[in-house]
Amino acid sequence: MRKTWIALALLAVVLLLHGGLLTGAQPPDPEPAPAAQAPAEPPAGHASPVLPVLLGVVVILTAAKLGGAIFERFHQPAVLGELVFGVLLGNLALFGYTGVEFLGTTEGIEILAELGVILLLFDVGLESNLDEMKSVGASSLVVAVLGVVAPFFLGWGVSAWMIPDEELLVHIFIGATLCATSVGITARVLADLGKLQKRESKIVLGAAVIDDVLGLVILAVVAGVITAAGTGGTLSSLAILWIVVKAILFLGGAILLGTWLSPRMFRVASRLRIQGWLLIVSLVFCFSLAYLANVLGLATIVGAFAAGLILDEVHYRDFLDAGEHSIEELIHPIYVFLVPIFFVLMGIRVDLSTFGQVSVLGFAAVLSVAAIIGKMICAAGVLEKGLDRVSVAVGMVPRGEVGLIFASIGASLVLHGEPVISSEVYSAVVIMVIVTTLITPPALKWTLARGERHRAAAAPAIE
Amino acid sequence: MRKTWIALALLAVVLLLHGGLLTGAQPPDPEPAPAAQAPAEPPAGHASPVLPVLLGVVVILTAAKLGGAIFERFHQPAVLGELVFGVLLGNLALFGYTGVEFLGTTEGIEILAELGVILLLFDVGLESNLDEMKSVGASSLVVAVLGVVAPFFLGWGVSAWMIPDEELLVHIFIGATLCATSVGITARVLADLGKLQKRESKIVLGAAVIDDVLGLVILAVVAGVITAAGTGGTLSSLAILWIVVKAILFLGGAILLGTWLSPRMFRVASRLRIQGWLLIVSLVFCFSLAYLANVLGLATIVGAFAAGLILDEVHYRDFLDAGEHSIEELIHPIYVFLVPIFFVLMGIRVDLSTFGQVSVLGFAAVLSVAAIIGKMICAAGVLEKGLDRVSVAVGMVPRGEVGLIFASIGASLVLHGEPVISSEVYSAVVIMVIVTTLITPPALKWTLARGERHRAAAAPAIE
């Protein structure tokens, strides 16, 4: 424990030094100058946009590793420590220290964080493969559909009950916000606990991906309807259908085409025999599908997961035979570098000061309960017997980054001159996201352990 | 060769598809919205600043690896292929294709490139160590001083001769622009050829670092004088002295403090025993020194090199004993990902259309010759006998990113209402940077091979 405090003291020194340096020297520019633009004032020292990123990465990685170390010491998943230390970092202003406020507003840090979550889902995809996905496909599909339908109507109902003055479309939008599942948190917890290979894990991950697609389709449709209503028109059912078809075409197409293309791509690459080819080809493939997913109106992480799902060791046997590491091993250092940035940044974005408003807290509490109950119904969707249904349901609870994205889209949509999601509702949705996200790692750890104890107790009776 | 063309065709398809998708769907936003701002228009698909970065990284990494593959096939260093393919990418607009213009203006890509060059210099520093630096210290110091003084006065003279109407301070500034050595290019060529451990390489790398410090000190002083002249004042000799002292204090201080701190830092970290600590501690250390260097008015890469120089396997023996990879191995995948982005981006920033102006070309040619001759004088600075002096001098030739940074600072400094570096002079300086940068890899490869043939021929005679 003493070592942890030494490390904590070091972090404090860095931050204090930074605060001092900021007043004494060049501040990291929160709105960096356009690229290739040199600083207007000497002494030299190039005021490049990389500067706040360098400082930010130093602070974030230090916080991430300290938070992770402390939480692991108390037998909690490291990711929870990263989130909590992120919340602390993001709210130091409440204690009068504003030296780290640039962390949440620096675009470069956001980009690294998003590359991090893309790599996280790519890695999750790599750890799965299509045949396994198919074997849990039926359960995943039922779990996913229940996990979308139940929270949607629960959220709609809660919203109509708690804020009856708002319009119908607002209630529908809040319902949509509750649909998403953030596979990132669950995947990270399962990875930290070494449970990614469990059948329950595969059902959750498969369902979370289907859920993400379903949720994004609902969001796209609801947002389309709201925009049409805002401009006095209506969205044609053809347009709604097109959004749905696009999503299905992307996943199906990516998997079909990718399964055909990726062995050929690797064969070409392996014959060129250049240092680092395997890693580069994998990254290019992952980023291409992530980009393509977005072009089609889906989340980048859906594309990254599809990319990981498609790539299989069989495809790059030539590289492995030549003594190269596997893609997972090659990706790992980049993962270690970027993924914690994402989780700390998610924590940083949380504004603790909204927690002070009682009405916000009340709505947030009801919304959180609806969000949790809505996903617990997923347990009924596990078709196979003998599996740990509760863990599957708990794994579906976190809304994470997807929930935050939904909320921010709602805040930007305008209906009759006002944002669909008002700032109070926004705060409540953000709190719901935090609660569902923070509750999952310890809950999942607990239910998994309980499930294993049950099975261990049951096993002798069967034998 | 056929495989290369298949790969080239694939890149073409990606770019054409991109062009088509851009007109059909969401363009990657060249001026991304502020962080956490959601898109104002559905259908969903989050218009995050990561999108142009994803697409850019895909295009850049593909171009880098294809360029590298093609140049290696013709027995040239891969880095040259990355630069040339960068130039091609950056000037596709000349052939009417503007789909990749965002590559040079997307801040996220610039940030990844700068992280790349920081990691490159960190890696170079890791491959060196202080004792070796000391053993070549005398030669490096003389080579560096010659490599700053000679180009400075040659550049000043050439400028006074070619553009006599400009003010004295402009000539001095152009002289300063010629001082820098871009250790990045040379280090990369030496690494590609597997020659980093040669004594000549160590002299060049040591000299390039000293040169960088000297050049940046000169730049800081000249820029300070110009700003003072611009506002009607003069820079006190005390202020000039302070810039000089700061640079020396930083390097000396970093090395002294770092040598004391780093084993302790690793000891604390190793006792916390968390996954990925060694990599994270190394990155945090590297980025901290890079940031600190900039705060003191030096280039970030100077700090990164110092960080690499300080870290030594002895310091993290505990990690190696626990079965962790060495820092070099851990950094390698991140290096493979980010470093090519830097070199391709340097190529992209080249505007081939300036090559069409005859007066610019004339000044550029004379400036390039001065830049090359100025550094060839470095050969006289190699104090030891039997070494390949010409290779040392050639290794000092490239101006690379440092030259580009100097030129852009000159373009942003204003003297009597006009920029110190006019757009024509800027083009000429950029061409000089390109020529010295492009010429070095093949020249260095040739002189190194020649030097080895000479020694092989001389060896029997001595025996």
Cβ separation of B280 and A72 shorter than 8 Å? no
How far apart, in whole angstroms, are the C-alpha atoms of residue A52 and residue B215?
24
Residue A414's DSSP bridge partners are A419
What is the pLDDT, as a whole number, of residue B287?
Answer: 94
Specify the amino acid at residue A186: T
How far the first Cα of chain B sits from its last, in Å, is 45
How does pLDDT run across B208-264, given as a tens digit for each residue? 777 766 776 777 677 767 767 766 666 566 766 776 777 677 777 877 887 787 777
Report whether A265 contacts A285 (CB < 8 A): yes
Of A65, A296, A409, the CB nearest to B38: A409
Assign 3-class secondary structure to chain A: CHHHHHHHHHHHHHHHHHHHHHHHCCCCCCCCCCCCCCCCCCCCCCCCCHHHHHHHHHHHHHHHHHHHHHHHHCCCCHHHHHHHHHHHHHCHHHHCCCCCHHHHCCHHHHHHHHHHHHHHHHHHHHHCCHHHHHHHHHHHHHHHHHHHHHHHHHHHHHHHHHCCCCCHHHHHHHHHHCCCCCHHHHHHHHHHCCCCCCHHHHHHHHHHHHHHHHHHHHHHHHHHHHHHHHCCCCCCHHHHHHHHHHHHHHHHHHHHHHHHHHHHHHHHHHHHCCCCHHHHHHHHHHHHHHHHHHHCCCCHHHHHHHHHHHCCHHHHHHHHHCCCCCHHHHHHHHHHHHHHHHHHHHHHCCCHHHHHCHHHHHHHHHHHHHHHHHHHHHHHHCCCCCCCHHHHHHHCCCCHHHHHHHHHHHHHCEECCEECCCHHHHHHHHHHHHHHHHHHHHHHHHHHHHHHHHHHHHHHHHC
How many alpha carbons fall within 13 Å on the CB side of residue A275?
16
Nearest to A406 by CA among A251, A177, A228, A210: A177
Of A114, A223, A296, the CB nearest to B48: A114
When comparing pLDDT for A418 and A363, which is higher? A363
Neighbour-count burial of B58, counting CB atoms closer than 10 A to its CB (0-12 exposed, 13-18 middle, 19+ buried):
buried
Cβ separation of A42 and B115 shorter than 8 Å? no
Report whether B119 contacts B283 (CB < 8 A): no
When comparing pLDDT for B178 and B250, which is higher? B178
Cβ separation of B61 and A118 shorter than 8 Å? no
Cβ separation of A45 and B115 shorter than 8 Å? no
Query: Over 90: is that where the pLDDT of B77 sits?
Result: no
Chain B residues touching A35 at Cβ < 8 A: 104-107, 110
Of B43, B106, B280, the CB nearest to A224: B43
Q: Where are the alpha helices (DSSP H) in B32-182?
A: 50-73, 78-90, 107-127, 130-135, 137-162, 168-177
Of B58, B334, B409, the CB nearest to A337: B334
Secondary structure (3-state) at B233: coil
Query: Over 70: is that where the pLDDT of B44 sits?
Result: no
Give the chain A residue whose CA is nearest to the CA of B325: A333
Of A25, A290, A409, the CB nearest to B295: A25
What is the token pair recorded at A386?
């003998």
Mutate to test the interface with A, among B284, B324, B346 (most CBs of A within 10 A): B284
Chain A residues touching B266 at Cβ < 8 A: none
How far apart, in whole angstroms, are the C-alpha atoms of residue B371 and residue B176?
11
Chain A residues touching B226 at Cβ < 8 A: 42
Of B35, B110, B275, the CB nearest to A110: B35
How many alpha carbons fall within 13 Å on the CB side of residue B153?
6
Cβ separation of A334 and B333 shorter than 8 Å? yes
Query: Over 80: is that where the pLDDT of B157 sits?
Result: yes
**Residue B415 host element (H or E):** strand B414-415
Chain Cα centroid distance, residue A147: 17
Task: Give the gap in angstroms from C-alpha A457 to the nearest C-alpha of chain B.
Answer: 33
Cβ separation of A7 and B268 shorter than 8 Å? yes
Give the chain A residue whose CA is nearest to the CA of B410: A38
Secondary structure (3-state) at B397: coil
Of B39, B41, B284, the CB nearest to A61: B284
What is the pLDDT, as a whole number, of residue B320?
Answer: 64
Give the chain A residue whose CA is nearest to the CA of B327: A333
Q: What is the mean pLDDT of residues B415-429?
A: 77
C-alpha triplet B61, B37, A57: angle, nearest 5°: 55
Phi-psi region of B253 (alpha: psi -120 to 50; beta: other; left: phi over 0): alpha
Task: Give the gap in angstroms from C-alpha A128 to the nearest C-alpha of chain B.
Answer: 22
Q: What is the mean pLDDT of residues B141-165?
A: 88
What is the pLDDT, as a whole number, of residue A18?
Answer: 46
Nearest to B427 by CA among B343, B366, B364, B369: B364
Give the chain A residue whose CA is nearest to the CA of B293: A45
Q: Using N-to-C axis directions, what is the helix angle for A358-376 and A130-162, rounded to 10°?
A: 140
Task: Give the gap in angstroms from C-alpha A3 to the nearest C-alpha of chain B.
Answer: 6
Give the chain B residue whose CA is nearest to the CA of A1: B272
Chain A residues touching B61 at Cβ < 8 A: 280, 283-284
Composition of chain B by helix, strand, coil, percent to 5:
80, 0, 20
Nearest to A263 by CA among A303, A331, A317, A328: A317
Query: Over pLDDT 70: what percentage of chain A?
Result: 75
Q: Give residues with Cβ within 8 angstroms of B317, minimum separation 6.
A: none
Report whether B209 contacts B301 (CB < 8 A): no
Cα B208 to Cα B142, B180, B399, distances in angstroms:
11, 8, 10
User: What is the ipTM score, two decimals?
Assistant: 0.74
User: DSSP secondary-structure letter at B358?
Assistant: H
Chain B residues touching A262 at Cβ < 8 A: none
How does pLDDT run across A227-273, given as a tens digit for each residue? 677 666 665 667 667 767 776 777 778 878 877 877 777 777 666 66
What is the pLDDT, as a whole number, of residue A27?
Answer: 36
Report whether A119 contacts A338 (CB < 8 A): yes
What is the pLDDT, as a whole number, of residue B28?
Answer: 40
Least confident of A450-459, B67-76, B186-195: A450-459
- B16 pLDDT band, cuts 50/70/90, is very low
Q: What is the largest CA-CA distance in chain A?
A: 80
Cβ separation of B294 and A46 shorter than 8 Å? yes
C-alpha triplet B305, B306, B312: angle, nearest 5°: 100
How far apart, in whole angstroms, are the C-alpha atoms of residue B453 and residue B254?
40
How far apart, in whole angstroms, are the C-alpha atoms of residue B294 and residue B301?
9
Omega cis (within 30) before B43: yes
Chain B residues touching A115 at Cβ < 8 A: 50, 53
Mutate to test the interface with A, among B295, B300, B348 (most CBs of A within 10 A): B295
Cβ separation of A46 and B300 shorter than 8 Å? yes
Cβ separation of B280 and A337 shorter than 8 Å? yes
Dihedral of CA atoms A52, A54, A56, A59 in degrees, nearest 10, equals: -140
Give the chain B residue whose CA is nearest to the CA of A53: B111
Task: Give the gap in angstroms from C-alpha B356 to the nearest C-alpha of chain A.
Answer: 22
Task: Give the gap in angstroms from C-alpha B372 to the nearest C-alpha of chain A.
Answer: 25
Query: Over pLDDT 90: what percentage of chain B?
Result: 9
Contacts 24+ apart (CB under 8 A), B356-364: B357/B424, B357/B427, B359/B424, B360/B424, B360/B427, B360/B428, B360/B431, B361/B431, B362/B162, B363/B162, B363/B163, B363/B424, B363/B425, B363/B428, B364/B427, B364/B428, B364/B429, B364/B431, B364/B432, B364/B435
Neighbour-count burial of B255, counting CB atoms closer than 10 A to its CB (0-12 exposed, 13-18 middle, 19+ buried):
middle
Nearest to A215 by CA among A168, A159, A177: A177
Task: Give the gap in angstroms from C-alpha A387 to the nearest C-alpha of chain B.
Answer: 30
CA-based radius of gyration for chain A: 23
Least confident of A2-16, B49-63, B165-179: A2-16
Of B58, B111, B413, the CB nearest to A284: B58
How far apart, in whole angstroms, are the C-alpha atoms of residue B189 and residue B201?
10
Report whether B437 contacts B182 (CB < 8 A): yes
Task: Give the gap in angstroms from C-alpha B431 to the nearest C-alpha of chain A.
Answer: 16
Cβ separation of A333 and B334 shorter than 8 Å? yes
Q: What is the mean pLDDT of residues B431-452?
A: 82
Task: Give the gap in angstroms from C-alpha B380 to the nearest C-alpha of chain A.
Answer: 30
Specify the amino acid at residue B437: T
Task: Give the gap in angstroms from C-alpha B164 to the nearest C-alpha of chain A.
Answer: 26
> For tokens 């992770």, what's the residue?
A68
Give the chain A residue whose CA is nearest to the CA of B44: A220
User: DSSP secondary-structure letter at B111?
Assistant: H
In the A/B pair of chains, how many CB contacts fall below 8 A? 276
Cβ separation of A297 and B45 shorter than 8 Å? yes
| The overall pTM is greater than 0.95 | no
Cβ separation of B274 and A108 shorter than 8 Å? no
Chain B residues touching A54 at Cβ < 8 A: 118, 287-288, 290-291, 294, 300
Of A36, A43, A298, the CB nearest to B297: A43
Neighbour-count burial of A161, counting CB atoms closer than 10 A to its CB (0-12 exposed, 13-18 middle, 19+ buried):
exposed
How far apart, in whole angstroms, are the C-alpha atoms of residue B271 and residue A5?
12
How far apart, in whole angstroms, are the C-alpha atoms of residue A202 and residue A136?
7
Least confident of A334-343, B202-211, B454-463: B454-463
Task: Give the gap in angstroms from C-alpha A433 to the nearest C-alpha of chain B.
Answer: 15
Mutate to test the interface with A, among B22, B58, B244, B349 (most CBs of A within 10 A): B58
Q: What is the mean pLDDT of residues B158-173?
A: 85
Cα B163 to Cα B154, B221, B422, distances in angstroms:
14, 23, 11
Least confident of A23-27, A74-78, A444-448: A23-27
How does pLDDT run across A266-325, given as a tens digit for each residue? 777 666 665 567 888 889 999 999 998 888 767 777 788 888 878 876 666 666 666 667
- B5 pLDDT band, cuts 50/70/90, is very low
Dihedral of CA atoms B316, B321, B323, B324 in degrees, nearest 10, equals: 0
- B338 pLDDT band, cuts 50/70/90, is very high
Chain A residues touching B277 at Cβ < 8 A: 65
What is the pLDDT, as a whole number, of residue B12?
Answer: 44
The CB density around residue A429, as the number of other CB atoms within 10 Å, is 29
Query: Over 70: is that where the pLDDT of A84 sits?
Result: yes
Cβ separation of A78 and B274 shorter than 8 Å? yes
Cβ separation of A48 and B299 shorter than 8 Å? no
- For A278-288, b/e burial (b = at least 16 CB within 10 A) is bbbbbbbbbbb
What is the token pair recorded at B15?
């770019």
Q: Where are the alpha helices (DSSP H) in B231-326?
A: 237-272, 277-295, 300-310, 317-321
